[in-house]
Amino acid sequence: MKNEKRIKNISFLLLLLFLTSLISLRTLKKVNTQDIRISGSELFSQNDVVKNISLKFPIRLILINTYFLEKDLKQNLSLKNVSVKRELFPFGLKIIVNTITPIAYGQKILNDEKILGFIDKDGIFIDRKNLNEINLKLTIQVLGWKQKFQKILSEILIAQENYEFEIVKITFSPNGFLTVEEKDLKTIFLGFNPNLINYQLQIINNLKNELKKNNFFEKIDSIDLTDPDKPKIKVFKP
């Protein structure tokens, strides 16, 4: 009985030693491009991943920092979310991506160059090359996008789902002055203060409802809401 127990213990220790050695060897093994597995989207290839991260392949699995890898991919491929896992069986990197759903066309300036893309409801910019444009029918255009405008842009896009107005263009000037165009109210000047946006959006909605009752839309040239407590409506003069 003692011998049997001793043999079992030795067998267990040998198995544990073997597994530990195997795991250690596999973590030291180098990951190549073909060891990358992507799920969640068919838009991105293994080469797309390699081109948009700071790592150089091949690289040992144990040396890969998944946090920085996720950060690179999320930013460079305009992803809503991404998860990167180091795996031993099967060996390699498993990348799970969550792509962004666009609701507006977008344009931003980078190094004096215009870059075309799309905007999602969180105000995130999506580079055109990172999205399949087939069957996209969007009615909103965003010009002058910058990351610092993301929050106010999201508030406008989300508010439109709950209000009666229909924004067709959102423009940020180089100095940050915000202007929107509404389907019936035409050009609306909102100004520099992002803290006023929710109040301004309420006023836009109220104005649309009031002017709709009076059939006043055709007479409007522009509306100044930089001071939302004192709206100024400019009308066409015959």
Other C-beta atoms closer than 10 Å to the C-beta of 212 total: 13
- Domain architecture of the chain: domains with CATH: 28-98 (3.10.20.310), 102-235 (3.40.50.11690)
Residues lower than pLDDT 70 in the chain? 1-28, 133-134, 237-238
> Measuring CA to CA, which residue among 207, 200, 110 is closest to residue 156?
200
What is the per-residue pLDDT for 187? 96
What is the per-residue pLDDT for 3? 57
- Kindly give, in sequence order, each residue whose CB lies less than 8 Å from that of residue 204, ignoring residues fewer than 6 positions away: 163, 165, 180, 182, 185, 188, 223, 225
Rounded CA Rg of the chain: 27
What is the per-residue pLDDT for 21? 47
> Measuring CA to CA, which residue among 130, 143, 196 is closest to residue 170?
143
Residue 195: half-sphere exposure toward Cβ, Cα within 13 Å: 0
